[in-house]
Structure 1
Amino acid sequence: MAELPKRYDPKSVEPKWYQRWMENRDFVANPNSSKPAFSIVMPPPNITGMLTLGHVLNDTIQDILARLARMRGFEVLWLPGMDHAGIGTQTAVEKYLRRTENKTRHDLGREEFLRRVLEWQDKHGGIIIDQLKRLGCSCDWSRQRYTLDDAYVAAVQKVFVDLYRKGLIYRGRRMINWDPAAQTAVSDEEVISKPQKGNLYFVRYEIVEEPGRFLKVATTRPETIMADTAMAFHPGDKRFAGLLGKHAWRPLARERIPIIADETIDPEFGTGVLKVTPAHDALDFEIGQRHNLPIVDVLHPDGRVDCPAVPELDGLERFEAREKAAELLRARGALAKTEPYENN
């Protein structure tokens, strides 16, 4: 009898036993079994990367539950799969195309680009599956799924349409995170906020009913002034109580806009007065909904300014337009001062 090694060597032990489990089909669920059913759907890892310690912890817990259920006499299905990772995968494939073929997804067209994405999945997805198997995950690999599989996509679309027909899904105007490079909306989870050094611009808005009197507003984005549809202050701020219901002249794309009061305004920030731009700020959007303000979008999807009423800005890239807007305001006597400012 061979002497047992004094130290456990996982590399020589675990692959052998895992291979035996696979050959015996120990993890394959039988849909015709008379045993009570027990199932877990693995939260699919993204195909763009490798497993993290978070995956290891989560999958270990799932494996414990699956194995315990088998020992208790359940017919167990632990369904594995991978997620296409949406924008992450698209970005990775597009970078590869630019580097190797100097092409974009628009050059290829939708169908060919999706085919390239599937090729990417075949290449990189195998790494993650091998890692899961190396962990000893007792998944039913015969039922492995991918979130771009035709059947999976069809099922999602069917449910979506069904929910829509039941009135449980509707389309409305909402504030979203928009990526002007990828030309798509992104979730809050995909947005990484970083401190940005810029300027705080103090802009003067003349009161229509009181010529010569101005409201001063601090903003970091003067290039969106053309989308202002109201001025707002806190209803408890006595400095501006007499202005409620009056109007101010918007200094770029000159127009009368109402002066309103809203509880969400911070009297301590800046001058205590907010220019309300419902199309380009989440807080402003909420204020606009409460006060039925119009939503004026002055940016093209690619981040360029869309405002023919101010030809000096129309078509400019947003950061270039920011500097140009400040110049225009200064020339019109509407820019009181500029201060360095850092935000995220």
Structure 2
Amino acid sequence: MTVALANTLTSRWAAAADGPAAFSGAGVYPLLALLAGVASGPARDELLAVAPSPLELPASGAVRAAAGVWTRHDLPLAPGWDAGSRLSGDPAADRARLDAWAARSTGGLVPALPVAVDEDTALVLASALAVETQWRRPFDDAVMTPAGGPWSGLRLPSLSRGHVAADALAPLRATGGVTLLTVEGSEDVDVVLCLGAPPAAPGAVLATAIDGFAGAAPATAGPGVHAEEVDATDPAPELVVSLPSFDVTAGHDLLTMPDLFGLRTAARDGTFPGISPVDLAVSSARQQALARFTALGFQAATVTALAMFPLAFHPPTARRLRVTVTFDRPFGYFAVHRPTGLVLVAGWVRRP
């Protein structure tokens, strides 16, 4: 059920942003679910509408995920809230630590956390997701010169491969007028390519593909598909695939679409009593993403981060005397009746 909710967020994001170059609803969802569990009032209701249950990101040889929490060193925390790592209050030092975490968590694919950190930052939540898989059947390098469309006449570096087998057409499917091609990875991650017919908007094509993938039907016709009978010595069908290689990056400001992510009240009013008695609001919510499709395989990584600031918080300005008493050698004790001063029991502790 939670997977379906995360996929719905990805689909809605694709449609609302009209097909970003690279993005991950799965990278955002765990942070929204975490905030929903510690928010109150309208902020909680809005977050629960988007992410009502936790999502555990898969971990395998092809997928790795990480999460991080950093709180300001002087921020009082609610009982039970894990302080995680503490921000030092030195923006340059904190920035270096957060960037190092992003690079380490994505194998260097995303070298920096996408949110700013300054002396007013009270909390940073982050998730990192990295995917890397090799193709079961690699592609060959080729050149493509489209005869029509926006790329007409361009000479493009491309990838191609052909496969003759009884099940060669199994990866080709269609849903809602969108052609889907599954490129199988060598482990447990595949990449699905989707193509719609002009003038369908990119966001609509992506949303249709994501929503309909599970029920997509086998197809030998559709956008980008050309079927013909050819002479051969083997009657088994052949699937020939041609596409440009790609290497894309994108940055996203989630607060430009606050309703999509359930962050409108969280960014305006807060509050999150499950984190701190101090009223907090989301000051920044961003994702940095990349995807790379080559002849040998696929790489992708996202780092999503939310920064929070106190709506009204005055750090301590006074100094106090602190006295510590330690009983670290044999000591005596007694119990006294308070109204009368009667000592009821007494003794000496020789060994702890």
TM-score tier after normalising by the smaller chain length? under 0.3
Higher strand proportion (structure 1 or 2)? 2
TM-score by length of 2: 0.19
Which structure has more relative contact order (CA 8 Å, sep 6+)? It is: 2
